[in-house]
Structure 1
Amino acid sequence: MKSILVAAAVGLVVSILFTPYLIRVFSKQGFGQEIREEVQKSHSAKRGTPTMGGMAILVAMWAGYLATHLTVSEALPSVTALLVLGLTTMLGVVGFLDDFIKIRKRRNLGLNKTAKLVGQMLASVLFAILALRFPDENGFTPASDNLSFIRDISVVSFGVIGFVVFAYVAISGWSNAVNFTDGMDGLAGGTAAMVLASYVLISFWQFRNSCELVSDIGPACYQVRDPLDVAVVAAAAMGSCVGFLWWNAAPAKIFMGDTGSLAIGGLVAGLSMTTRTELLMIVIGGLFVVEALSVVLQIVVFRTSRRRLFRMAPFHHHFELAGWAETSVIIRFWILAAISCLFGVGLFYADWLALAGGG
């Protein structure tokens, strides 16, 4: 527990202190956000706000994790945690390149779709291949080639190649979903903090009830590798998002940009695979799912009927154009995100109770 608290605290403090430094540097360099033409009227005042603030989240996350291992944790960094951190960082680099091109070319389009997908593919394939290696003394690898809900679904096995494909779809899907959500001040950052808090609870509970440590709860124990260190990663990232939110909340002084949104999407995908909760993540990250689906539905309906299902996609802009104040949209969407997280954690705990004979 002390490791988790230190990781969260260091991530929070580093993020709060490092973000204003980035604001000053990026403002001086003119690294400002370009605004989509469709939302120019309501968001024109945000033009020029520093972007690429996701760098603060990444730096603070690493700081929180490493500080824990340098101070309170006697164990070396685990393979599982390093794989999740590596995946997050690689996608952050893809997002940084996207943001940098937008800034240099003074437009709201950075990397083209092919380049972005290639970057996501490289990160996903490397993570997937390595995550099926490095078994511990109990034979548990960082990830499993079985599909999972709250635990592995043994009858649904991908095999190595299938898992690599699945990992690419999941990682690119979640990184794009978070990217779609990042359209209002603090919306993605606040939602991500809640999702990561859920994974702190899940990972820590898996640690306390790991099959490596507990032998008397039968099928209720969790066959996962390095759950405590995964909880430390989630805690460090959660603290980083909360610290960044201090400066990113409306009216935002800085945006996370694709640097942050792609990285966070990769992080939650990595956490879902290493905790064997891939389908449960759809519930916990329900707001991200809705935002992504709104974009897909908008495209499908428009191409088939030449009509728009929503005033604008992603979904949050629909309500803004309907007359809702931006802060009202953000707070109500945060409430929906919190409900999704609570429901997901509730399902996780109910599964444990059922298997442990508690109900």
Structure 2
Amino acid sequence: MKPILVAAAVSLVVSILFTPYLIRVFSRQGFGQEIREEVQSQHAAKRGTPTMGGVAILVAMWVGYLVSHLMGGDPMTASGLLVLGLTTALGIVGFLDDFIKIRKQRNLGLNKTAKLVGQLIASVLFAILAIRFANSNGVTPASVELSFLRDITVISFGAIGFVIFAYVAISGWSNAVNFTDGMDGLAGGTAAMVLATYVLISFWQLRNDCFAPSGPMPGCYTVRDPLDIAVVAAAAMAACVGFLWWNAAPAKIFMGDTGSLALGGLLAGLSMVTRTELLMIVIGGVFVVEALSVVLQIVVFRSTRRRLFRMAPFHHHFELAGWAETTVIIRFWVLAGISCMFGVGLFYADWLEKAMILK
């Protein structure tokens, strides 16, 4: 428990203190946000607000993780480093996207091909490495089997299939978080709740590890490095909370694609190393709805030449309907909390059922 608390505390302090430094630096450099034409009237005052604040989240997350290991003396693990590496790689893709937007003074950065290639490289490297590095018990960071609350042993992708699946999942989640990042603190607050949920899940997997010294327990989990996964999730959660201090309405800085792509990759990575890939759809329900709203908007418009929503992603639909921005944000946070609680409930119910059956 101590490494988790240390990672969270250090990451929170670094994020809160480092973010205002970035605000000053980015403001002097003119690294300001460009606003979509469709919402110019609602968000005109935000034009020029410093962006690329995701740098603070990444730095705080890494510092919290490293300090936790330095103080605790526990070795870093393949699972933790792979998830952090995936998060950082996608953060770099997002940083390039943000930087191009700033230099060209428009709300379009990397073209779709360049962004997809960046996501592809990060995803393939993660997937290949995640099914290697078996520990002494023969458990790898990720499994080639599809998972919900645990691995679904009857559905196996095979090595090549898992690489393809990982790319789809990672690019899907990174884009979903990116779509959600359109209002002050919306993506950051939602991500913090999802990450807090994964702290609970990975800690529970640690307490019910099939390879614990005391031997396998009823309903135990075959997950490699659950403690280190919890440390990563705690550091990232605290980094988001610290950043939210400055990103909440009215935002002093935006996370930009640097933060949103990184956080999406982080969530996808956590779902794979905890063997909860389909459960993430429940826990991250707000991100799923935001992404689906974009897809549905495109499909309906191309089919009927009419718009299903006033604007996609979904949060802008309510804004254009007259809701105040803070009202939209808080209500979406409430929905995110409900999704997380429902996901935890499903996870615990599965453990309880298996524990009772095995007893």
What is the CA–CA distance in structure 2 between the aligned matches of 1:173 and 1:216, rounded to whole Å? 35
Structure 1 residue 278 corresponds to structure 2 residue 274: no
Q: Which amino acid aligns with 2:130?
A: A
What is the CA–CA distance in structure 2 between the aligned matches of 1:208 and 1:99, rounded to whole Å? 41
Alignment of 1:8-87 (within 5 A): 8-71=8-71, 73-87=72-86
Q: Which amino acid aligns with 2:305?
A: R
Deviations 1:306-342 (CA, angstroms, capped at 9, x unpaired): 0000000000000000000000000000000000000
Which SS does the other structure have where 1:254 is aligned? coil
In the comparison of the two structures, how many residue pairs are matched?
Answer: 357
What is the CA–CA distance in structure 2 between the aligned matches of 1:210 and 1:224, rounded to whole Å? 7
Give the CA deviation at 1:217: 2.4
TM-score by length of 1: 0.99
Deviations 1:226-269 (CA, angstroms, capped at 9, x unpaired): 00000000000000000000000000000000000000000000
Structure 1 residue 92 corresponds to structure 2 residue 91: yes
- Aligned twin of 1:256: 255
Question: How much is the aligned-residue C-alpha RMSD, in angstroms?
Answer: 0.9
Which SS does the other structure have where 2:155 is aligned? strand
What is the CA–CA distance in structure 1 between the aligned matches of 2:246 and 2:297, rounded to whole Å? 32
What is the CA–CA distance in structure 1 between the aligned matches of 2:73 and 2:44, rounded to whole Å? 51
Which SS does the other structure have where 1:156 is aligned? strand
Give the CA deviation at 1:216: 4.7
Contact kept, 8 Å, 2:34 with 2:48, in 1: the verdict is yes
Contact kept, 8 Å, 2:209 with 2:217, in 1: the verdict is no
Q: 1:156 to 1:40 in 2, by over 3 A?
A: same
What is the CA–CA distance in structure 1 between the aligned matches of 2:287 and 2:189, rounded to whole Å? 12
- Aligned twin of 1:217: 217
Q: Which amino acid aligns with 1:128?
A: A
What is the CA–CA distance in structure 2 between the aligned matches of 1:329 and 1:134, rounded to whole Å? 44
- Aligned twin of 2:336: 337
Deviations 1:122-153 (CA, angstroms, capped at 9, x unpaired): 00000000000010111100000000001000
- Aligned twin of 1:199: 198
Structure 1 residue 227 corresponds to structure 2 residue 216: no
Structure 2 unaligned blocks of 5 or more = none
Q: Which amino acid aligns with 1:224?
A: V
Contact kept, 8 Å, 2:65 with 2:235, in 1: the verdict is yes
Give the CA deviation at 1:76: 1.1
Q: Which amino acid aligns with 1:65?
A: Y
What is the CA–CA distance in structure 2 between the aligned matches of 1:258 and 1:102, rounded to whole Å? 10
Q: 1:216 to 1:81 in 2, by over 3 A?
A: closer
Give the CA deviation at 1:74: 2.2
Structure 1 unaligned blocks of 5 or more = none
What is the CA–CA distance in structure 1 between the aligned matches of 2:80 and 2:217, rounded to whole Å? 26
What is the CA–CA distance in structure 2 between the aligned matches of 1:344 and 1:338, rounded to whole Å? 10
Which SS does the other structure have where 1:223 is aligned? coil
Give the CA deviation at 1:75: 1.7
What is the CA–CA distance in structure 2 between the aligned matches of 1:140 and 1:216, rounded to whole Å? 15
Q: Which amino acid aligns with 2:140?
A: T
Moved beyond 6 Å, runs of 4+ = none
Q: Which amino acid aligns with 1:149?
A: F
Which SS does the other structure have where 1:147 is aligned? strand
Which SS does the other structure have where 1:34 is aligned? coil
- Aligned twin of 1:105: 104
- Aligned twin of 1:118: 117
Which SS does the other structure have where 1:229 is aligned? helix
- Aligned twin of 1:134: 133
What is the CA–CA distance in structure 2 between the aligned matches of 1:216 and 1:3, rounded to whole Å? 24
Contact kept, 8 Å, 2:209 with 2:216, in 1: the verdict is no
Which SS does the other structure have where 2:282 is aligned? helix
TM-score by length of 2: 0.99
